[in-house]
Structure 1
Amino acid sequence: MWIWLEDIAIESNQCDWSYMHMSKISYLLGKYNGDYLLGNPLPTDSFFCRTWMRSWVEICTAYAKPIEEQKVIWDKHLNEFHGMSETWESYFHNRSRVNSLLETLEFLPRVFAHQDVHWDNIFLEQIDEHDSLMAIDWQFASISGVGEELGRMFGYALLKRKIPVNMVEEYKEELFLSYMQGLRAAGWDGNSTFARFGFTVSAALRFIMVIDKLLINLEAGNGISQKEKSSHLLLVSQALLSMADESWSIRSEIKQYFHNIYECCISRHSSAALLTHY
């Protein structure tokens, strides 16, 4: 076993995770992921996970209360949040979509991903007057879909209040735009819908864990801090469920995209055309 130790002057690196800071990181993540979309060989070592989101979702689902028990807790505390029946219906509906969303995610173009991008692991440093990423803690490193890296960052930052819940849409669009600019700067000219899906679905699937956290907190008591935490978790859940609905719509676009290409290939009697378009 080998361990790499390096003295890093973290204090000299930006780590405030402001709006601008996250935009820069999103751009550089796009450039980093883009290198693998252009042919930079993916790691072949057997210890790298190749279905990271699926394994994470399975663990979250296993630790969560059964959905029947969740419904009992939800109904018990429903009045505290002025009748959130629509939110529960959205949660129940999206739980049934999870496997289909994961299957599509695993079909996306593959990149090498850090998969744990947050303020304690990723830093900006200046090299030759250009921003560069410095990453530590590669425990979750995996072969993942394009956009997945950004979604994981977004969902965690939202949960931990680095992204204000009332500014979800602004952050979502800005960070995705920066990520796409990074992919384009790397030279990737593929379909942005793939990256959009990878981003939205990997952020959205965090709702499985967040809803369970909300229900556990509701059961814990009625203290002021617990009520405030429950309110935050509820708003985060609603934002993530909205992204899950968006992911489902994008998935339909992707299915239609490949259906159209397939029809084109059949009409031309060419299977090679499908691979070229992909």
Structure 2
Amino acid sequence: MPRGVVRRRVLRHNSQNAVTDVVERVTLADGSTLVHKRLRAPSVDSGGAWAASQDPRHWNYWRREVDAYRGAVLRSSLAGTGLDIPAADVEERAAEADLWLEDVTGKPGTAFSLADHTAVAAGLGRWQAAGPLLTPWTSEGFLRAYSASRPVPWQVLHDDAAWDQPLIRRTWPAGLREGWAQLMAHREQLLRVMEYLPRTRSHLDVWVSNQIRRPGGDVVLLDWAFVGDGALGEDLGNHLPDAVFDLLWPAQELATLEAACFEAYLGGLREAGWRGDQRQVRLGVVASCVKYTWLLPLALTQAGRDEHSAYHEVADSEHLYHQRGLAFAYLVGWCREALHLMNRQ
């Protein structure tokens, strides 16, 4: 542990994840700051949506970030891409590890402009043009395993009363119920196509709260806990809707964000020497809508609450459900585009 810690402040993080004991900003006696993240091992692999695992290929392997930060493989793979990873010191014991991370300064992803978002997309393209990053600790099968781990009240999708709740009727667009039924009907098909698309190195948790843009222009990606195998386009397919779901980009401007970021991603791929089929990249983006099948039924079950939040921040219920309803409808459009592209393969 660094000497002279004089203050600690817990930072917002997913406290449900069994891997994460604490995430905090520590201030040292000289006034400098670090981000401290403590990881903990499971005594045995257990159940639950955020259970930790001892399996290095599991999506929630407890010590993946130890290897990611300690070694040179991941860090060197990012060189020259426009993406970066925080500097880090690692202390490991038998059943836990401490990461002492650079407290990155710059513009947070929650304040990103369109130009900042396209910088992320272009950087992802340059990084992912090289294909898979094969190590003993990178994850495999993330999308299916993560999706299957969510506790989902699937029955609510067939509950007329749930769809007739006042908040749902006021805020969600017409036709969403039928559109989501189509997405659910093709869930397995979409998962399979995501598994057979061209593979590449993937962060697998790319969203604005995990991004900081340095003054020099590089975008630092935080939280490398899931890094591993993914489909081309999968990270971008996560980045875009997540910005809307947590009220960090207006749903009405999602098409603008998508168009700019997709072109930037393709440009980054080509700049780094990729010469593949653009249609497969597009399919990787839009078929990634399958990751969110669990989110709409959860929103239905929570619609009657007195208070709602977006990533732990209290939000206006009408605004939140209106924005998420538009985002759900947008994903239905992605599903239909994916099915069209799949039929042309």
Instruction: Give the shorter-chain TM-score range.
Output: 0.7 to 0.9
Q: Does the C-alpha gap of structure 1 residues 17 and 66 become closer, same or farther in structure 2, counting only changes over 3 Å?
A: same
Give me the whole-angstrom Cα distance separating, in 2, the residues matched to 1:222 and 1:116.
27
Superposed CA deviations along residues 100-157 of structure 1, whole A, max 9, x for unmatched, are 0111111111111111122332233366xxx433222111112001000111111211
Superposed CA deviations along residues 233-277 of structure 1, whole A, max 9, x for unmatched, are 2122111111111111122222xxxxxxxxxxxxxxxxxxxxxxx
**What does residue range 211-230 of structure 1 map to in structure 2 within 5 Å?**
211-220=296-305, 225-230=316-321
Q: Does the C-alpha gap of structure 1 residues 76 and 31 become closer, same or farther in structure 2, counting only changes over 3 Å?
A: same
Partner of 2:276: 190
Partner of 2:258: 172
Partner of 2:179: 90
Q: 1:31 aligns with which of 126, 129, 153?
A: 126
**What does residue range 62-73 of structure 1 map to in structure 2 within 5 Å?**
62-67=151-156, 70-73=159-162
| 1:211–1:237 Cα contact (<8 Å) kept | yes
Partner of 2:235: 149
Give me the whole-angstrom Cα distance separating, in 2, the residues matched to 1:222 and 1:158.
19
Partner of 1:271: none
1:50 aligns with 2:140: yes
Q: Does the C-alpha gap of structure 1 residues 233 and 246 become closer, same or farther in structure 2, counting only changes over 3 Å?
A: same
Moved more, 145-154 or 70-79: 70-79
Measure how far apart 1:35 and its partner are.
1.9
Moved more, 183-192 or 16-25: 16-25
Partner of 1:104: 193
Matched position secondary structure for 1:205: helix
Q: 1:18 aligns with which of 87, 95, 113?
A: 113
Partner of 1:236: 327
Superposed CA deviations along residues 50-75 of structure 1, whole A, max 9, x for unmatched, are 21111222123x42342455444114
1:210 aligns with 2:295: yes
Q: TM-score, normalised by structure 2?
A: 0.63
Partner of 2:337: 246
Moved more, 170-179 or 113-122: 113-122
Higher relative contact order (CA 8 A, sep 6+): 1
Give me the whole-angstrom Cα distance separating, in 2, the residues matched to 1:250 and 1:93.
16
Query: RMSD between aligned alpha carbons?
Result: 2.7
Question: What stretches of structure 1 of length at least 5 have no aligned partner?
Answer: 255-278
Percent identity of equivalent pairs: 19
Q: Does the C-alpha gap of structure 1 residues 231 and 34 become closer, same or farther in structure 2, counting only changes over 3 Å?
A: same
| 1:118–1:153 Cα contact (<8 Å) kept | yes
Measure how far apart 1:43 and its partner are.
1.7
Q: TM-score, normalised by structure 1?
A: 0.77
Matched position secondary structure for 2:208: coil
Matched position secondary structure for 2:213: strand
Superposed CA deviations along residues 169-200 of structure 1, whole A, max 9, x for unmatched, are 11111111100000001100100111111111
Superposed CA deviations along residues 76-101 of structure 1, whole A, max 9, x for unmatched, are 55983499662211111210101101
